[in-house]
Amino acid sequence: MTAKPEKAILRALAGEVLPTPPVWMMRQAGRYLPEYRATRAQAGDFLSLCYNPELAAEVTLQPIRRYGFDAAILFADILLLPQALGPKLWFETGEGPRMETTATAAQVAALRPAEAVHETLSPVCETLRILRRELPPETTLIGFAGMPWTVATYMIAGRGKEEQAAAHRLKAEDRATFQALIDHLTEATVLYLSAQVEAGAEVVKLFDSWAGSLKGQDFADFAVKPAARIISALKARHPGLPVIAFPREAGEGYVGFARATGADCVAVDNSVSPEWAARHVQKDGCVQGNLAPHHLVTGGEALVRETRHVVEAFRNGPHIFNLGHGITPDADPDNVRLMIETLRAA
């Protein structure tokens, strides 16, 4: 008989309903923390921070020391994976990532093989090994990757754009090339996440930040099917591995997503209400979410009220408390503490 997990997040992911939900935050290692800003300045730039295992581990640990979150998520970036496949990546100050475009059949064919992730991203795995040594024993270590659709949108456009027009255009005009890119990213993602698990990740999360712009059959083909392939391959390699999937702004696409993909938990954004997600998503297993991030900027009674609201809405099923998206740089660190204190007292 398999022993039941002891860590709170692993218990929730196994389907247990806990009296107090475990909590962590997307982007919990970030610019809202003064200690993060100091370490980033020490690293010199964002990519240097990602590829420095000691400093990346340090910023991952900072919010654990400050707040005692139930999980630490690896500090990295979803665009490290496509960078490992060949395209140049850089960050423009105040504007975000820029990437050498991959938008033609020849450019897709010229990508390095999926196995390239092992060599190029070995520093990321070293960060995980450091974290397994340094984290408190009760803290779950989460690895992650971007989903193929979201990663492809950056590769095709060379930058993040709200409407993902370049990716939709390639998908419509040359579906074979687009599918080849998705397939290559799917294979590389499996290898990358498998390496993260071997390095110490206990859970992995799949971020599909732009899933909401996929509609109808495209959502099935490029959000659901790649997730199912990745999760199936990971669970074959690592039996019992819990997987969290986040098809952000999927709306009705959240319904049945866990069943269709094999995900143990579906993270939901704050464009859906907690009551809706409890009714339509939590029936299939653990749900993660979904406090609106702006409450950590404004704080006050609204933060307390909405934190209690989220806890109460998901109380009857397995739940991991989180935000509906990443914490923003203008959030007040004191509001994070208030959120945690409120949910643990709820």
Burial of 334 (0-12, 13-18, 19+ CB in 10 A): exposed
Q: Output phi, psi for 146, to 5 deg.
A: -80, 150
Burial of 106 (0-12, 13-18, 19+ CB in 10 A): exposed
Of residues 32, 36, 40, 70, which has the active-site annotation?
40
Q: Tokens 């979803």 label which residue?
A: 78
31 is catalytic: yes
Of residues 37, 66, 77, 221, which has the active-site annotation?
77
264 is catalytic: no
CA dist., res. 26 & res. 209, Å (int): 12
Q: Are strands 96-99 and 89-92 parallel, antiparallel or unpaired?
A: antiparallel
CA dist., res. 184 & res. 189, Å (int): 9
CA dist., res. 163 & res. 210, Å (int): 9
254 is catalytic: no
Q: Tokens 């093989």 label which residue?
A: 113
Of residues 27, 36, 192, 248, which has the active-site annotation?
27
User: 3-state class of 121 per DSSP?
Assistant: coil
Contact call for residues 131 and 72 (beta carbons, < 8 A): yes
Of residues 51, 67, 154, 254, which has the active-site annotation?
154
Q: Is the peptide bond before 290 cis (omega within 30 degrees of 0)?
A: yes
- Ranges of beta strands (E only) in the chain are 71-73, 89-92, 96-99, 140-146, 203-208, 243-247, 265-267, 286-291, 319-323
Tokens of 187: 């294979």
Burial of 37 (0-12, 13-18, 19+ CB in 10 A): middle
Q: Output phi, psi for 244, to 5 deg.
A: -105, 130
77 is catalytic: yes
Active-site positions read 27, 31, 40, 77, 154
